[in-house]
Chain A
Amino acid sequence: MTDPQQIARLKQVVDDLLKEAREQGADTAEAGVSAQTGLSVTVRLGETETIEHTSDNGLGITVYFGHRKGSANTTDLRPDAIRESVAAACRIAKYTSEDPAAGLADPELMAKDIADLDLYHPWELDADQATEIARHCEDAARAIDTRISNSEGATLYTQRSAFVYGNTHGFIGGYPTTRHSLSCAVIAQEGDDMQRDYWYDSSRLPDELDSPTSIGERAAQRALARLNGRKLGTRECPVLFRADIAPSLLRSLFGAIRGHAVYRKSTFLLDQVGERIFPDWVKISEDPLRLRGAASAPFDNEGVATQYRELVSDGVLQGYLLDSYAARKLGLQSTASAGGVRNATISDTGQSFEQLLREMDRGIVVTELMGQGTNLVTGDYSRGAAGFWVENGEIQYPVEEITVAGNLRDMYQKLAGIGNDNDIPGSIRTGSWLINGMTVGGD
């Protein structure tokens, strides 16, 4: 079955689910169903290591009896499982409490004309062809330097999905998507020092993936650059978060302005809408309707129409990320954020990565962050890190086993520049971030 045909089948499943929910007494209900198939091939040291055929189905149903809610989900899409799941959800709703904020998103917010965002570009390739691409990628990494002594392999993954959501407002929508990725992880060794690094690309279209050679070479160069890392003395200095790890700083922002964190008052950005939380040149936007985008979607997980939106304009926070529940708790309207931020972009200050190094003059470039040391209630931030020491605006040597610490609120305020080096894969588009005055812990 092709995925567009799957959509018709999944719509039928959603219809059946909603009908069953009504029959079992629910006042309103919503359901999402997905079917996904894929192929993942890993080549290590020139030999095929794994060939995995993936096949995942999923179904989720939420029922409301008045304002009492119950949910169920299953990987089994057969009629018996559908009845069992609806019954389980209805049973749970007998025990949950009346919650005035619980319910479907408001009917007038439902997406009307569901745009085709061009997210479906299947890749017809078999395991042998996939193996060749992965092998080519790993070969490129291993050929770069004799110090590439070992490998965790290169993996090609291609996946196609079909997804349908519907609710008892009469909304039903669905679309097929594809995603293809190629990644490579290798180990560089010199003496006793072993360093691992990786690179990857991911795209909706097979043709838009970076070449296997460039992905492999970049993985190797990244691993090599880490060799002979030194520790650093404890100090205060500026930190340049390289573009490939800078998205984590935006994810912390999104976590802090999530409606659920806001109504629980468990965020360091409480009551900051209308306040300047970044320097005035910062604009952060969300573009869910971008064609072929990594996180594009015509409607959110509650059927609410998505649209372009600025989250931060001139450094000022414009609003929160609200699903219908958080919106009702806060007396606001849904921002179509059920399921998270879709395709975020942050403005840059025009410099290249090298120009940012010169501007920093003396400090560290962070190229890896480790651990979970981010407290979104207080903004306290303390992460393990590795990267490079910079002096006279140039990279001097790799550093490792250090920590970088501060408070996110201050870090956002002290953002001194963002580079134009935003050629990273993924759904967040950002260049490298230069932040002044962080504490670096070392020996």
Chain B
Amino acid sequence: MTENNTIARATLLDTPGLDEIQLGRVMDRLLSRRVDAADIYFQYSRLESWVLEDGIIKEGSHSIEQGAGLRAISGEKTGFAYTDSLELGHLLDAAGAARAIAQAGQHGRQAMVAGAQVPMLYPAINPLDSLREDQKLELMRRADAEARTADPRVKEVIVSLVAAHDVILVMDNTGRISGDVRPLIRMNVQVIVEQDGKREQGHAGGGARQPLDYFLEDDRGMGYAREAVRLALVNLEAQPAPAGMLPVVLGPGWPGVLLHEAVGHGLEGDFNRKGTSAFSGRIGEQVASPLCTVVDDGTLPGRRGSLTIDDEGTPSANNVLIENGILKNYMQDTMNARLMGVEPTGNGRRESYAHLPMPRMTNTYMLPGKHNPEEIIASVDHGLYAVNFGGGQVDITSGKFVFSANEAYLIENGKISHPVKGATLIGNGPEVMTRISMVGDDLSLDTGVGTCGKEGQSVPVGVGQPTLKIDQLTVGGTAA
């Protein structure tokens, strides 16, 4: 058995004193009605966070979250209950509440078997212990100093460091039991700069499913500090952004949030089963320019959006969503896959035991094209070059999506000119994807900062893309 499975069983079954016979009783109760599928999801999480502000370690916090979520599915109906106690009695009560969704009947249970033993994509460690406390605080103090010495205009620095240790175990009605240990770390540096009474902010950071040494390697933590200062200083110089339709060149990496919003959500299985997405019923159709191949890949080792197995025990995969502009696949969890008559794709995710799983993205990115980035910028007479973004949002039904730039420049006569203030870009996903006319050869992924929200549930994700050009996109500046 792989190490993550061994640790998950020890943490979530042995420690609370649950054995396979008791687990079987809980599953039997879930299955004592006419249900099509059922699962029990156990979770144990520890999270630690630190905040440095005003040059001092101002706050630290430790969180414990544990419990089990029990689900019974009958057709398109789902019954769900959860408990923060892993005692047998509470689990049986929750199973009784969850199964009430289904009609009277009986569903046979199968013998318990270990889930697929897939190679681990990240180490089965507790990242809270991956550095000593004094080393964690030293890292934050050094980042603070790095930002302050980078430029005298830096007035405030806030550094945060978070480590999360998440152990999960999921058992389904086929008897399959799969476990995983998921480290997740995140560091962020935020600065306020001031010049002639004008203030601006900048922030930068990164994260991964790695031990905290990750921030010491390759000078990453200090890099975030310098990048935050650089961004804030760029924005001090920024002039009002234009308003209206313009050619837009998006930089590589984090601007891949475009794909996440413009196509990613619209390709999640639940919306397509229900027919509520602008992409519903369009498999096999041209939905993007032939230059576009977009994948959702949960198998990248150590990345924030990666998962060895998803929250239903399905191994993650590298799923092609759009190939040369043609829509190939939706992202699925087990329930939507079953109802749509396809295989699950390893995209069944949930925020915690207290939330229901649904199809979610992992790391979504576009494969590289053949243009070099300079060539792409040189092809634009008058347009916008956007390289950093805040968040985005999409209305999957109408296809409208927005994302807000926090570092952008005007392109004039094929050259990057002055920086412009954060402008929101808005478009229609399926339409914008067909207007992608150049794709760079410089694919990169974001630094590990993405969090995706859907129906009130947050999960860590990754995005990426090469430099690309959209012929026309509405830019929401103030300079009409």
Chain A residue with minimal CB distance to B55?
A97
- Inter-subunit contact A373/B476 (CB<8 Å): yes
Chain B residue with minimal CB distance to A92?
B60
- Inter-subunit contact A403/B474 (CB<8 Å): yes
Q: With A and B bound together, what is the CA distance between A92 and B46 in angstroms? A: 14
Task: Find chain B residues with CB under 8 A from A49 CB.
Answer: 76-78
Q: Is the interface of A mostly helix, strand, loop or mixed?
A: strand
Q: With A and B bound together, what is the CA distance between A405 and B100 in angstroms? A: 50
- Per-residue contact bits, chain B 442-480, to A (CB 8 Å; 1 contact, 0 not): 000000000000000000000000000000101111111
Assess A51 versus B80: contact at CB under 8 Å? Given A234-B243, A441-B476. Answer: yes
Q: With A and B bound together, what is the CA distance between A81 and B85 in angstroms? A: 11
Most B Cβ at <10 Å: residue of A93, A96, A99: A96
Q: With A and B bound together, what is the CA distance between A320 and B253 in angstroms? A: 39
Q: Pick from A68-76, A282-290, A356-364 the stretch touching chain B.
A: A68-76
Assess A373 versus B64: contact at CB under 8 Å? Given A50-B79, A95-B57. Answer: no
Residues B273-309 near A (CB distance < 8 A): 274-276, 278
- Chain A residues in the interface with B (C-beta under 8 A): 44, 47-57, 69-76, 78, 81, 84-85, 88-89, 91-99, 102, 127, 150, 152, 187, 193-196, 226, 231, 234-236, 264-266, 270, 370-373, 375, 377-378, 380, 382-384, 386, 400-407, 439-443
- Inter-subunit contact B82/A55 (CB<8 Å): yes
Most B Cβ at <10 Å: residue of A44, A102, A382: A382
Q: With A and B bound together, what is the CA distance between A406 and B421 in angstroms? A: 11
Chain A residue with minimal CB distance to B246?
A441
Q: With A and B bound together, what is the CA distance between A440 and B474 in angstroms? A: 10
- Inter-subunit contact B424/A371 (CB<8 Å): yes
Q: Pick from B174-182, B215-223, B395-403 the stretch touching chain A.
A: B395-403
Chain B residue with minimal CB distance to A152?
B276
- Inter-subunit contact B404/A371 (CB<8 Å): yes
Assess A402 versus B474: contact at CB under 8 Å? Given A372-B390, A382-B241, A443-B244. Answer: yes
Which residue in A92, A93, A96, A442 is a CB contact (below 8 Å) of B474? A442
Say yes or no: is B137 at the interface (Cβ < 8 Å to chain A): yes
- Inter-subunit contact A97/B426 (CB<8 Å): no
- Inter-subunit contact A443/B245 (CB<8 Å): yes
Assess A403 versus B61: contact at CB under 8 Å? Given A52-B81, A75-B66, A76-B66. Answer: no
- Per-residue contact bits, chain B 237-277, to A (CB 8 Å; 1 contact, 0 not): 00001011100000000000000000000000000001110
- Inter-subunit contact A371/B393 (CB<8 Å): yes
Number of interface residues of B (CB under 8 A): 77
Task: Find chain A residues with CB under 8 A from B53 CB.
Answer: 264
Task: Find chain A residues with CB under 8 A from B50 CB.
Answer: 95
Say yes or no: is B423 at the interface (Cβ < 8 Å to chain A): yes
Q: With A and B bound together, what is the CA distance between A258 and B58 in angstroms? A: 18
In the complex, how many angstroms separate the beta carbon of A408 from the nearest chain B beta carbon? 12
Assess A401 versus B426: contact at CB under 8 Å? Given A75-B84, A382-B476, A386-B400. Answer: yes
Task: Find chain B residues with CB under 8 A from A152 CB.
Answer: 274, 276
Say yes or no: is B200 at the interface (Cβ < 8 Å to chain A): yes
Assess A235 versus B192: contact at CB under 8 Å? Given A52-B81, A73-B63, A371-B392. Answer: no
Interchain residue pairs A-B with the least CB separation, the first 8: A403-B476, A384-B402, A97-B56, A371-B402, A92-B60, A441-B243, A88-B62, A196-B397
Say yes or no: is B391 at the interface (Cβ < 8 Å to chain A): yes
- Inter-subunit contact A373/B424 (CB<8 Å): yes
Q: With A and B bound together, what is the CA distance between A372 and B392 in angstroms? A: 7
Assess A384 versus B426: contact at CB under 8 Å? Given A50-B77, A71-B59, A75-B64. Answer: yes
- Inter-subunit contact A383/B424 (CB<8 Å): yes
Q: With A and B bound together, what is the CA distance between A386 and B97 in angstroms? A: 42
